[in-house]
């Protein structure tokens, strides 16, 4: 059976995700564990996950 090469880096850019998460924690006071920071990180992760799903669906077509 032929293996399909997974291009996970095309689904979610890990470097950019780390950069954006670092920027979010720097933008909020404290150590990054506050409710405002957690909410912002959650929204970022949901957006990136949705974008990754769209790319994966396009790859499957």
Does 49 reside within a domain?
yes
Does 40 reside within a domain?
yes
Does 36 reside within a domain?
yes
Q: What is the tally of structural domains in the chain?
A: 1
Q: What is the pLDDT of residue 15?
A: 93
Q: What is the pLDDT of residue 11?
A: 86
Per the structure, the complete domain to which residue 43 belongs is given by: 8-60
pTM of this structure: 0.79
Q: What is the pLDDT of residue 2?
A: 58
Mean pLDDT of residues grouped by 10 in the chain (61 residues)? 70 93 88 89 96 89 84
Contacts 24+ apart (CB under 8 A), 10-15: 10/55, 10/59, 11/52, 11/55, 11/56, 12/48, 12/49, 12/51, 12/52
Does 42 reside within a domain?
yes
């Amino acid at each position: 059976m032929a293996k399909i090469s997974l291009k996970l880096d095309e689904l979610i850019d890990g470097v950019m995700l780390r950069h954006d998460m670092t920027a979010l924690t720097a933008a909020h006071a404290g150590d990054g564990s506050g409710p405002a920071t957690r909410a912002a990180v959650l929204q970022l992760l949901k957006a990136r996950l949705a974008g990754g799903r769209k790319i994966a669906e396009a790859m499957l077509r």
